Structure 1
Amino acid sequence: MNNKWLNYGGLILIAVVWGANFGISRLAMESFNPVVFSFLRFGLAIPFFFLILKLTEGSVGIPWRIVPRLALIGLIGITLLEITVMYSIKYTTLANASLLNVAPWPIFAALFAPLFMKETITPRLIVGGAISIVGVCFVILGGDEGFSLSSENMLGNAMAFGVSIIGPLFNLTSMSLMKTYSALRVSTWTIAFGSLFMLPLTFGSWGQTNWSALNAGHYLSIGYNVLICTVVAFVMWNACMFKVGATRSNFFRYAVPAAAVAAGYFMFDEKIALLQMCGAGCMAAGLIWISIERKKRAEPAALSAKTGSQLV
């Protein structure tokens, strides 16, 4: 019981960390090229990942047979996903990007999960997920921007919706490897390959940043992105997701928009509307409803299968 709530608490904490990063990254984007900033976030995190992996597990290597798989996951889940997120924000409104990115993500995770993991969709999960979706829509649409179907936003809308498809595939393919390798080892090599593929995309963009004009706030934003949003968050999220399951854990991403709204209030003096507060309440109720579902007692066959997978 305690471990279950610890995992749920970890998912919520990381969602809040990522939500707060919307405000921190917005400040950083005033001085950095988006692709360069994204590369700094993941590239500078690589030494920390390898150091922690070496200290905790005694080695950093991976079998050659899974190198192509990890490289593909890094290309899709780090390089493609992060760049698509940045440009979806650029080519549509923040409300559109948030709604189309966040809301469909858990739905696609639930649809794709049976292809990668033995996960079932329960009635409680459906009800709690539906309540959370309503809540997150209220949080996003209750803001000043609202949702826009203008033709000039269509490219950004399509990219944001694509994020909600790419993201679950990234989660699930990573989880399938975590049956054999630790969340830390999978995260380390995924980010290493993703950063490697991202590096060529930064060529020609480094000069767009006035490095001599950067202040302590800029370096703190880089540190927050590298250490908190990447090193700590990726390892904790993947570890909790593996324990909770991809379908259930991805609904906790709905805490991200609420945290982003709170960050806007504290960092940019943005107003919080009554509809947004009601939405946060709905979202919290849905996540609590999902969290209190009791895990069914495993059958002997399932237990033996699980034991066998751990011995591989």
Structure 2
Amino acid sequence: MNNKWLNYGGLVLIAVVWGANFGISRLAMESFNPIVFSILRFGLAIPFFFLILKLTEGSVGIPWRLVPKLALIGLVGVTMLEIMVMYSIKYTTLANASLLNVAPWPIFAAIFAPLFTRESITMRLVVGGGISIVGVCLVILGGGESFNLSSENMLGNAMAFAVSIIGPLFNLSSMSLMKQYSALRVSTWTIVFGTLFMLPLTFGGWGQTNWAELGTGHYLSIAYNVLICTVVAFVIWNACMYKVGATRSNFFRYAVPAAAVVAGYFMFDERIALLQMCGAGCMAAGLIWISIERKRPDSNELPISAPPQGQIV
């Protein structure tokens, strides 16, 4: 199979994984403090990242000169992003949070891309992206909740919109490092630093969880978040994003809300409206239109080199 289609397939697969996690995490949030659940997700994933990195690349370190940059990326892209996602859901409606988190993300990725890469914006990308945006809006707003701009939701709306700005910057800044280091190495150390910054925020939250009452379902939700949504997803998404380009790959995030709607149907018996199915069709058409464009060679086609020798941590 053409490597291009493997990369696009990987992006769709991870978007579905993240979308299904909306339902799984909603169940888990009934028993866990949100930040505690997040640090369990990332903290427990770190040993797996280091193990895979050691087995596949022979070392786990990074040069000291990269520590400040990776620490900043981890602070913004893991700590801040996760907290904003959680509290945007808390302080606004699910429809608002979903729409403001997801829809503007690829647009900002396209705007910021020239600052980090040499990616070009083509007419096919604009048309396909526009069709996908219409589709994702229909998927999100076609359900029971409608977009609500009341004053009580403004804090959550602002946080959700901030996610769509911070997220692309996180993706693009990571891509610049992937020209020298593997997606796995970049993901590993980004998550390490992000988890360290998140740890102090959990103080006081551990006691809010009744650990004695946790059942098999809770531990399975943690395992899904750690192994599938974090370890597997971060590695595959970053690797595919590096090959496809940040602008194109971020449009595939539009599959997340569609997968979340399907998860709600199976896990919570939520109704899928005809408008949502039409939206899913529009979204799929837009993504296919983007995918069949022949990608022009650019700086992202540089091979990923082995880590240079020298001081590492």
TM-score per shorter chain, which class?
A: over 0.9
The alignment partner of 1:83 has SS state of helix
* Structure 2 partner of 1:50: 50
Q: Rate the CA distance shift 1:309–1:83 in 2: closer, same or farther, 3 A.
A: closer
2:55 corresponds to 1:38: no
Inter-partner Cα distance in structure 1 for 2:262 and 2:86: 21
CA contact (8 A) 2:12 2:255 kept: yes
* Structure 2 partner of 1:262: 262
* Structure 1 partner of 2:179: 179
**1:102 offset after TM fit, Å?**
0.1
AA aligned to 2:171 is N
Q: Rate the CA distance shift 1:309–1:219 in 2: closer, same or farther, 3 A.
A: closer
AA aligned to 1:226 is V
* Structure 2 partner of 1:9: 9
* Structure 2 partner of 1:151: 151
Provide the aligned C-alpha RMSD in A: 1.5
2:25 corresponds to 1:21: no
Task: String of CA shifts for 1:97-135, please: whole Å, max 9, x gaps.
Answer: 000000000000000000001100000000000000000
The alignment partner of 1:118 has SS state of coil
Task: Write out the 4+ residue segments of structure 1 that deviate beyond 2 Å after TM superposition.
Answer: 305-312
* Structure 2 partner of 1:105: 105
**1:306 offset after TM fit, Å?**
6.1
Q: Rate the CA distance shift 1:55–1:273 in 2: closer, same or farther, 3 A.
A: same
Equivalence map 1:1-312=2 (5 Å): 2-296=2-296, 298=297
**1:310 offset after TM fit, Å?**
5.6
**1:205 offset after TM fit, Å?**
0.6
Query: Which shifted more, 65-74 or 1-10?
Result: 1-10
CA contact (8 A) 2:179 2:302 kept: no
AA aligned to 1:75 is L
Inter-partner Cα distance in structure 1 for 2:233 and 2:172: 17
Inter-partner Cα distance in structure 2 for 1:235 and 1:147: 34
CA contact (8 A) 2:182 2:305 kept: no
AA aligned to 1:288 is I
Q: Rate the CA distance shift 1:129–1:150 in 2: closer, same or farther, 3 A.
A: same
Task: String of CA shifts for 1:218-244, please: whole Å, max 9, x gaps.
Answer: 000000000000000000000000000
Task: String of CA shifts for 1:163-193, please: whole Å, max 9, x gaps.
Answer: 0000000000000000000000000000000
* Structure 1 partner of 2:311: none
Inter-partner Cα distance in structure 1 for 2:301 and 2:164: 30
Inter-partner Cα distance in structure 1 for 2:102 and 2:295: 26
Inter-partner Cα distance in structure 2 for 1:179 and 1:56: 18
**1:309 offset after TM fit, Å?**
8.6
**1:72 offset after TM fit, Å?**
0.3
Inter-partner Cα distance in structure 1 for 2:124 and 2:29: 40
**1:307 offset after TM fit, Å?**
5.8
Query: Which shifted more, 143-152 or 244-253?
Result: 143-152
**1:268 offset after TM fit, Å?**
0.1
Q: Rate the CA distance shift 1:127–1:143 in 2: closer, same or farther, 3 A.
A: same
Q: Give unpaired runs (5+ residues) of structure 2.
A: 309-313
